Amino acid sequence: MSAARPGTADREAIEWVLGRARAWIAQDPDPDTRAELADLVGRAEDGDTAAMSDIADRFAGRLAFGTAGLRGELGAGSSRMNRVLVAQAAAGLAAYLHDKAAPDATPTVVVGYDGRRNSHVFAVDSAELFAGAGLRAILLPRLLPTPVLAFAVRHLGADAGVMVTASHNPPNDNGYKVYLGGVDDGSQIVPPADAEIAAHIQRIADGTTVDRLPRSVGYEVAPESVVDAYIEATAAVAPAPTGADDLRWVYTAMHGVGWETVSAIADAAGYPRPTLVTAQIHPDGAFPTVAFPNPEEPGAMDLAFETARASGAELVIANDPDADRLAVAVPDDSVAGGWRRLTGNQVGLLLGWRAARTATPGSGASLACSLVSSPGLEAVAAHYGLDFHATLTGFKWISRAPGLVFGFEEALGYLVNPGTVRDKDGVSAAVAILGMAAEARGRGATLDDLLTEFGATFGHFASDQISIRVDDLGVIARIMAGLRTAHPARLGDVDVERVDDLMEGIDGFPPGDVLRFRLVDGSRVIVRPSGTEPKLKAYLDVRGDSAEEAAGRLGALREAVGALLDRNR
């Protein structure tokens, strides 16, 4: 059956979309995305409905700039990540910095990039546009971890920083993360700065084409001394204790940029070189050995476990591709393959315990974690007489906790050195874990033993997560609406004591799409959409008098919450 001929309104809509595509092609500096879009336009003009649908999807909206900056799939069009969007973002950020600067001041912005596809191109474009806009622009000397960029913002006294990375997103994604200096101390942007920058970006996009934006090659390249300073400061986090010389560990960079920096810091701190997962040690934006370059994903650490078994290692350390996250694994004969990845909460509680032991009670020193992370950190803070802060998800919030000496979130993010980096840092966290493992080893203990000691000291906390990945974001909205409309009275055999809807700004949190269920036995369930991926996440936390009791409660709660989410899909 032949397709129906489009009506007048349909033809007008098609021509409008094709007009936007042609205008995009005319300003796009990238020959690859120009050719990609021109091919689609030509096929659509010949009546190819699939090509027309593809174009319509690419121009259905604009990739939003928010507190995560920009992040999305690479490709031509306003809803993709490309050189046009990056140019508009750079010009908008430059306008924002000029707007905030003192009269006659020249704002400084530093730019970093990782090993993903187009990261270097986007970074150079940004540096040229910043310089063309009259800013002092400084490009890091090569691809480096995100924490080095966060460090450089403070170290160089910059007004802002940009990191071109999509962290652990799928291989065909990239992103544009913005940091602010000055009173923001090198933290990621938060409201209202994100909305103000977005308004400048939109004004640029509406008012001119990117080929008319001024550019200059007069940007600087940061000296190696910036990287050296980061290495020195991070090595000082945990110098190797006596007896660490023969510590056996495995390291994987997950096809990212971590190894060069991690190796230099391990050398400077006095740790032995690890056995490397050689297939994953060099930057490769195609991520050929993993389906998804995130250490949390099933299978992502299989090569590391294989390497650990072959080498007789005592622990595995993994960074995600931009090295701002850390995963740790330990031997465990009770699981298939003989290795178990510690949860983000387990690592966070160990590192929080480490930080609390050296903090001064009553000094205003604090521990902080996101509201979806383990409540065990609050127990640690109380034990040592420290302040505690729960924040919204994301290090843009955690990093701003007053008196912060340590912060973490369960998604493998840890801030162990706030005097150096005001963001999650998988490199400094790796050094801190090496130090803990080496110190425990010196008395015949392991990281697993430290977890047992933690439970005996603070209580046995257990956490789990249910994650629902969707193709249709409407599914997430439907589940959240269903949970708001009809709160469950019980989860399994346990009564729900209280429901907090953070849309209402509960407990001093700014409004957010988060529901928190408190149960009468002290358990907690938090449900929210992911901020960076098409996922709905449910976070489960329980506490027991023993590890066995906590595990039993957690299993029952997981079953009940899974059934609740299924009923609301």
Residue intervals of the chain classified under CATH 3.40.120.10 are: 80-222, 233-458
Tell me the pairing of strands 220-221 and 275-276: unpaired
User: Which parts of 3-149 are beta strand (E)?
Assistant: 70-73, 108-113, 136-139
Q: Are strands 315-319 and 187-188 parallel, antiparallel or unpaired?
A: unpaired
Residue 7 has pLDDT above 70, yes or no: no
- Quick one: pLDDT at residue 239? 98
Write down the residue that tokens 């369960």 correspond to: 410
What angle is formed at CA 232 by the lines to CA 230 and CA 238, rounded to 5 degrees?
A: 110
pLDDT digits (tens, 9 = 90+) for 91-148: 999 999 999 999 999 999 999 999 999 999 999 999 999 999 999 999 999 999 999 9
> pLDDT by residue (tens digit) across 287-296?
999 989 999 9
Asked if the model's pLDDT at residue 375 lies above 80, the reply is yes
- Look at domain 80-222 and name its CATH class: alpha beta
Helix (H, G, I), strand (E, B) or coil at 341: strand
Name residues whose C-beta falls within 8 Å of residue 391's C-beta, 6 or more positions apart in sequence. Answer: 368, 369, 370, 371, 397, 398, 400, 401, 509
Closest CA to 452 of 442, 464, 440: 440
Token output for 479 = 């589940």
Nearest to 41 by CA among 85, 76, 86, 1: 76
Strand ranges (E), 24-132: 70-73, 108-113
pLDDT at 443 over 70: yes
pLDDT tens-digit map of 476-532: 999 999 999 988 999 999 999 999 999 887 777 878 899 999 999 999 999 999 876
Alpha-carbon span 568 to 246, nearest angstrom: 53
Q: What's the whole-model pTM score?
A: 0.93
**Residue 492 φ/ψ region, left for φ over 0, alpha for ψ in the -120 to 50 degree band, beta for the rest:** left
| Cβ partners under 8 Å of residue 396, min gap 6 | 67, 187, 188, 189, 190
Residue 167 bears catalytic tag: yes
Q: Region 394-411: what's the mean pLDDT?
A: 96
- CATH number of the 233-458 domain: 3.40.120.10
DSSP one-letter string for 125-182: HHHHHHHHTT-EEEE-SS---HHHHHHHHHHTT-SEEEEE--TTS-TTEEEEEEEE-G
In terms of CATH architecture, what is 460-567?
Answer: 2-Layer Sandwich (3.30)
CA dist 377 and 347 (Å) reads: 11
Per-residue pLDDT band for 8 (boundaries 50, 70, 90) equals low
Ranges for all domains in the chain classified under CATH 3.30.310.50: 460-567
Which candidate in 126, 167, 370, 399 is catalytic? 167
